[in-house]
Amino acid sequence: MKKSVIILSHIGFWLMIWFLIFTITNLIPMLLPSKDFNPLTNWEAYTSAALTVGILSVPFYIFFFYTKLIIKNVKFLIYPLLLIAPFFIGHVIWGENNSYKYMDALMTLVVILLFGFLGGLFQFFTDWFKKNRLKTELERKNFESNFALLRSQINPHFLFNTLHNIDTLIYDNQDKASKSLVKLSDIMRYMLKDAKSDFVELQKELNHLENYLALEQLRLKTEKFLNYRINVNADGLKIAPMMLIPFVENAFKHSVDSGTENGIMIDISLENKTLIFVCENRFDHSDTDKDKVHGIGLETVKKRLDLIYKTKHQLTINTDNSVFKVKLEIELNEN
């Protein structure tokens, strides 16, 4: 909680108490006969309410500043009690009417303890808001650093393999090698430039994904290993960048040998403004621990989905019969 908000909340609280006391002071003459009570002038009512607020603020701020110590160890409760004791003792000694002074002193003590409790409550909630805000800030910074790493990172194995494949193509198929270099350039440009925005055009995200798939296909032993379908009219829609690619990277990273058929299947469609992304890959159970660090990317994506799309997305991940399946539905925004 900001310091200005804390100060304003204190000022508002005491203004409310002053107004309440002032109102009660003006109502008393209407409720009691004049012989039992001498009405106060407006000025006397103002000053009387202000004086009462000043007296009540003493136990309030004593407990306000001692609450942290009391929470740590209840023995520190003795300090605020000792500081407010003179109010109680003074009321007993100097009470005007002996027959009622003990009752008046008890009522005074109750009011003092009440405002002391309110002071402690103010401090407790102030600390709670501060700690909660600090926790949220730390989580946000941690998330931002993870995402910055995720979107700026180019998998070195992917880059090495792609360059090696392009080098081979230069001798066998120069036209295909040239097109592959353009796709690699587009991937790097997207990751280093477009992905820095909070939202990008859906078509750019899909183009990035298709470029990635095209380069991955260069190293496949059979073209039938990868099957994908993108049936989307992305006009006017936007999506948070790098939202789909981690699932695809994960599929290639943990899939079976690329010489098999239907090792990876990807289907992307659009229903109204809801993007439906399905990615399946067959995997070998004995090889699932080969890269535990790779899961950090998926965890970051999950956090991003919860932060950006909240109730506007649904993510389900299932593992059944050596098939890892991801289904993601996102309600997209328009331009």
Three state DSSP letters for 210-251:
HHHHHHHHCCCCCHHHEEEEEECCCCCEEECCCCCHHHHHHH
Please name each of the domains of the chain with its CATH number: 3-147 (no CATH), 153-334 (3.30.565.10)
Read off φ and ψ for residue 208, nearest 5 degrees: -60, -40
Supply φ then ψ for residue 38, to 5 degrees.
Answer: -95, 115
Strand-pairing partners, residue 278, are: 267, 327
Range ranked top by mean pLDDT from 141-145, 158-162, 163-167, 284-288: 163-167
Average pLDDT for 315-325: 89
pLDDT in tens, 195-204: 778 889 999 9
Q: Is the pLDDT of residue 291 over 50?
A: no
Q: Where are the beta strands (DSSP E) in 250-334?
A: 264-271, 274-282, 313-320, 323-331, 333-334
Across the range 101-108, mean pLDDT stands at: 58
So what's the pLDDT on residue 279?
A: 95
How confident is the model over 163-189, as pLDDT tens digits? 888 888 888 888 888 989 999 899 888
The two three-digit tokens of residue 319, written as one number = 């593992």
Name, of 195-199, 206-210, 250-254, 307-311, the range with top average pLDDT. Answer: 206-210
Q: Do residues 70 and 116 lie in contact, with contact meaning Cβ atoms separated by under 8 Å?
A: no
Average model confidence (pLDDT) across the chain:
76
Q: What's the Rg (C-alpha) of the chain?
A: 35
Question: Which of 9-23, 105-119, 247-261, 307-321 is predicted with the least confidence, judged by mean pLDDT?
Answer: 105-119
pLDDT value of position 276: 96
For residue 334, name the pLDDT band (cuts at 50, 70, 90): confident
Lowest mean pLDDT among 12-16, 36-40, 110-114, 181-185: 36-40
> How far are the Cα atoms of 80, 245, 246, 265 from residue 225, in angstroms, in the given order?
75, 18, 19, 8
Strands (E), 116-209: 200-201
Model pLDDT, residue 162: 82
pLDDT of residue 148: 58
Flag whether pLDDT at 10 surpasses 90. no
Q: Which has the higher per-residue pLDDT, 104 or 61?
A: 61
Q: pTM, whole model, 2 decimals?
A: 0.56
Looking at the chain, the whole-number percentage of residues with pLDDT higher than 90 is 18
pLDDT band (50, 70, 90) for residue 292: very low
What confidence score (pLDDT) does residue 2 get?
65
